[in-house]
Amino acid sequence: MQKMTLKIKKFSLCPFLLLLVALLQVGRASCFPYYFKSFKVENGLSNNSVTCITQDKMGFMWIGTKDGLNRFDGYTFKIFRSSLSNAQSLQNNYIRAIHEDSRGL
């Protein structure tokens, strides 16, 4: 009867140890912090009202706002706006959607 009691005690420790190992693994995964940085007009964005965003195959972030299309390279913004003197410019500064075509353009 004493042997049976010892076996039960050994087996009851197994779930506890597994739970402890699992909790330690979860604790390790949360050790890597995420950093977020927000950008505003003061940082070069054309407008603080962002309507859409995408990343192209080259890594540029394209951000549509109520006042132009912004290309962000990780450091600076390049702003594209409508221009009456340029027929190939944007038709409107209010960007509602951004789509990358199959060629990555």
Please report the DSSP string for the chain in residue order.
-HHHHHHHHHHHHHHHHHHHHHHHHHHHHTTS--------GGGT-S-S-EEEEEE-TTS-EEEEETTEEEEE-SS-EEEE-B-TT-TTSBS-S--------TT--
Each residue's pLDDT expressed in tens, for the chain with a length of 105 residues: 555 554 555 455 566 666 666 766 655 555 667 778 889 999 999 999 999 999 998 999 999 999 999 999 999 999 999 999 999 999 999 999 998 888 776
CA-to-CA distance for 15 and 63, rounded, in angstroms?
50
pLDDT at 95: 96
Q: What is the pLDDT of residue 24?
A: 66
Contact 98, 53 (CB under 8 A): yes
Q: Give the model's pLDDT for residue 26.
A: 58
Beta bridge partners of 62: 54, 71
Would you state the pLDDT for residue 79?
A: 97
